[in-house]
Amino acid sequence: MSSESHPEPHLIVDIGCGQLPFPLRPGGRQIEPGEEYRGYDLFEQRNIGPDTVNLFLRAALERSGGQGRVERADATRLPLGDEIADEVVMINLLSSPRVDRIAVAREVGRIIKRPSGIVTVVDTYAAASYPVHRVRDILYPMGLRQRNVGQELNSRAIGRYSEGRYYRDRYIALFGFPPSDVTNTPHERLHSGADCHSIDTSEKGGKTLMATAQQEYHGRVRQVKEGVTAEKGAMASAKSQAETSRERIAGVQTKWADFVTALATTRQSHTEFMGSLGAASSHHSEKVVPAQAQVNEKQGETLKLYTTLISDIRHQSIQQFAAVLGALGENVVQENGIVGNLTENYATMTADAKRREEALSQLQVAGTAYKENRLDPQQNIIASTPGHYEAQMGATDQANQALDTYIATT
């Protein structure tokens, strides 16, 4: 049964990682599959420890597919074997005054792989407090040499620290071991302490070394002056920001005082309101509750009386309706009798009127006959003929009889 050999992961060691390792920083380099991250820090002045950092780091590594952890360790005594790290990263570590830089450089030289290891040094402060030439002074004795950032930065960068705006006052420097077929310059051999016997000790060689040293010196002086100028500008900007902050703080303090005053007024109003609420509650318990009970009792009595009244009204209404119905029946009978009497009276009146008309007609006839047969007063009744006299008397009797008949009808 053969056992398969798994290749060792690409080990990245972050010395002085702090509570925010670079895989957790926005835009920072991610640990990819096949890579392993190890972060070391003392966590002496940190708000959180390695256990909490590992929780966040584990989540970030699960997303990127890498592996790794953070441990508490001294930068000069790392719990790692010799020549085990493929990459070593130091961010703002060598610029700290509490760090033994020489001891850290020796520890880096012990754990870095030869000749493939890469060392990345980053300083992100406004003006680098530990310039890159000093980094060279402590790493060159370890056999490391500074490399051209432009050639290897794309594959070895750690996120946003690679942006061009960090190149002047802030820097990112890469160091590695030179190939065996490359001859070191005299200046590098002088710093590394190797092959010192091959340095040109002639007057020409001394002048060359002196000219090189003077160039480096003037370059460092320019860097220092530029750093001082940038620091003055940063101090002026910080002073302006401080004045603005003071004004804002004064405004906040004024608003805070107003808020405290308003809060005290609100508390007093709340206290008075609670007192009024207590008095109202007491009054409610003493006055309103008994009155409400009385109202409820009266409402019950009123409802009872209303129910009784409705029942009585219904009973009385039925009796009154029966009485009214009886009275209406009697009235109908009486009206029927009256109508009968009126009918009889109308028939009698009609007969009387008919008789009256007949009597009037007879009276008119008698009157006409009387007018025709009456005697002239100027004539002598004796001279009248007997026949005419008798006709006149007959007409008179007839007229009297007709008059009596008519009078009888009226």
Q: Using one digit for the tens of pLDDT, what is the confidence trace for 99-119?
A: 899 999 999 999 999 999 999
Count the domains in the chain: 2
CATH number at 120 reads: 3.40.50.150
pLDDT of residue 131: 80
- Is 204 a member of any domain? no
- Is 116 a member of any domain? yes
Q: 19 and 166 share a domain?
A: yes
- Is 290 a member of any domain? no
pLDDT of residue 4: 54
pLDDT tens track for 141-184? 999 998 875 544 433 444 444 443 334 456 788 899 987 544 44
Predicted structure pTM score: 0.43
Is residue 381 within 8 Å of residue 339, measured between CB atoms?
no
Q: How far apart are CA 217 and CA 239, in angstroms?
A: 32
Q: Among residues 172, 197, 222, which one ends one of the domains?
A: 197
Question: In a 10 Å sphere around its CB, with 0-12 CB exposed, 13-18 middle and 19+ buried, how is residue 22 labelled?
Answer: buried
- Is 399 a member of any domain? yes
pLDDT of residue 101: 92
More confident residue, 404 or 120: 120
Band (388; pLDDT cuts 50, 70, 90): low
Q: 15 and 150 share a domain?
A: yes
The bridge status of strand 67-72 relative to strand 87-91 is unpaired
- Is 183 a member of any domain? yes
Q: What is the span of the domain harbouring residue 340?
A: 321-409
Most confident of 84-88, 142-146, 149-153, 403-407: 84-88
Q: Among residues 182, 197, 212, which one ends one of the domains?
A: 197
Give the list of residues 6+ apart from residue 219 with CB closer than 8 angstroms, or none.
Answer: none
Q: Among residues 149, 180, 197, which one ends one of the domains?
A: 197
More confident residue, 331 or 196: 331
Backbone φ and ψ for 41, nearest 5 degrees, come out as: -160, 155
In a 3-state reduction of DSSP, which class is residue 208?
helix
User: What does each C-alpha distance from 321 to 1, 318, 329 come to in angstroms?
Assistant: 119, 5, 12
Tokens of 380: 């002598």
- Is 316 a member of any domain? no
Counting residues of the chain whose pLDDT is more than 90, the rounded percentage is: 15
Q: Which residue has the tokens 């490399």?
A: 147
Q: How far apart are CA 101 and CA 108, in angstroms?
A: 10
Q: How far apart are CA 326 and CA 175, in angstroms?
A: 132
Please determine, for residue 12, whether its predicted confidence score (pLDDT) is greater than 50. yes
pLDDT of residue 154: 38
Is residue 110 within 8 Å of residue 82, measured between CB atoms?
yes
Give the list of residues 6+ apart from residue 392 with CB closer than 8 angstroms, or none.
Answer: 370, 373, 374, 375
Average pLDDT over residues 325-340: 78
- Is 160 a member of any domain? yes
pLDDT of residue 81: 94
Counting residues of the chain whose pLDDT is more than 70, the rounded percentage is: 75
pLDDT tens track for 358-382? 878 877 887 777 676 655 555 545 4
Please determine, for residue 197, whether its predicted confidence score (pLDDT) is greater than 70. no
- Is 177 a member of any domain? yes
